[in-house]
Amino acid sequence: MRLSIIGFGVMGERLTRAALDFDPAIVELAGVWDPSVTQMARLGAELPNAPTLASAEAAVAEADCVYIASPPKTHLGHARAALNAGKAVFTEKPLGVDLADSRAFVKEAAGERAAVNFTFASSSAVADLKTWIADGVVGKPSAITVAADFSTWPREWQMDAVSWLAKRAEGGFTREVLSHFLFLTGRLGGEMSLLKSHADYPPGEFAETAITASMRAGDIPVSVTGGVGTITEMESNLWLLEGAVGSIRLRNWSTAERLGDDGEWRTAPNTLPHNEARPLILKGQLHKLAAMTAGKPHDLATLAEALAVQEIVETILSSR
């Protein structure tokens, strides 16, 4: 699979590095393009062995599959261009920021080779959760809790993208972080429906500072909360599934735990810190992306799953 990358921000850089380190018999990096001269200069300085491309059109022309890691409002335009050229598409989340356009795109792209980069699709910690559920550790599910808290938003390592990540039009932690846990909720819990929600905003055009939502996933009640300035550490997140006979949870992206009979939480064997788990997750995503591009089965996040997440996210963000 010849892979091109549009956008060399944090996510574009991560997948560029993963592709360069991947088995070249499976994935070849066709090149990277970013509209920013500064970002292209950084690419040349930090990854001189990464091919560079002159335009988004070149990125489409040179590849079998196009990874779109540009700001959210540009996702669907690049995705349409790639699909119209007969290329496979792997886009960052959110699918888009305009619900009507995202709905139209999902209809247009039915049957095409396209997926969205919700990384829990390749997480070993999520695989542990699935195994525990299948083994009956939880029993009949009774509740899901989702929580994400931040000292500041954007996080320190995202400051290169502050111009849009800090703004309500495209950014905010609900789109960027909680969306991953909503994807997980839908995939493990069932079809999602939002019952009520509320979002708080500061004056001006800045993104949300707090959200609350009550939902259902299938017949499971779901509680969702998120806030900025609520903790002193940079970030904390939680996905908790409680059931008739036990509870399991995912903490801070990559730590899967189950509640023992003694009331103590026990971490899954072979758990890695997230900074060590992330490269393995990206490797898994690339394996599946190569399969999708070849028309083979895969379990990457579908466009329909991404649209379901966006429907929930944008409704929460419009709640006052």
Write out pLDDT tens, residues 173-222: 999 999 999 999 999 999 999 999 999 999 999 999 999 999 999 999 99
Are 19 and 74 in the same domain? yes
pLDDT mean across residues, the chain: 97
Answer yes or no: is pLDDT of 161 > 90.
no
Q: Are residues 133 and 264 in the same domain?
A: yes
For the whole model, what pTM was predicted? Answer: 0.97
- State the residue range of the domain holding 143: 121-272+305-317
Examine the domain organization and report whether 130 and 83 are in the same domain: no
**Cα→Cα distances 217→119, 187, 205, Å:** 20, 9, 32
Is the omega angle on the peptide bond into residue 48 within 30 degrees of 0, that is, cis? no
Shared domain for 21 and 106, answered yes or no, is: yes
Query: Tell me, what CATH number does 197's domain have?
Result: 3.30.360.10
Same domain, 63 and 207: no
* CATH number of the domain encompassing residue 26: 3.40.50.720
Burial profile 144-178: b = 16 or more Cβ within 10 angstroms, e = fewer: bbbbbbbeebbbeeeebbeebbbebebbbbbbbbb
- Name the band, by pLDDT with cuts 50, 70 and 90, for residue 315: very high
Question: What are the tokens at 29?
Answer: 């990096």
- H/E element, 182: helix 179-189
From residue 79, alpha-carbon distances to 76, 90, 102, 133 in Å are 5, 8, 11, 35
Q: Is the pLDDT of residue 159 over 90?
A: no
Together in a domain, 168 and 236? yes
Give me the pLDDT at residue 193, please: 98
Domain annotation covers residue 278: no
User: 199 and 169 share a domain?
Assistant: yes
**Tokens representing residue 90 in the block:** 């792997």
Element (H, E) at 33: strand 28-33
pLDDT digits (tens, 9 = 90+) for 44-78: 999 999 999 999 999 999 999 999 999 999 999 99
Q: Please state the domain count of the chain.
A: 2
Residues 46/106, Cβ–Cβ less than 8 Å? no
Nearest-angstrom CA–CA distance, 226 and 155 = 14
**In a shared domain, residues 166 and 312:** yes
Same structural domain, 161 and 100? no
Say if residue 215 is in the same domain as residue 105: no
Q: What is the pLDDT of residue 160?
A: 83
Residue 316 is encoded by which pair of tokens? 């929460």
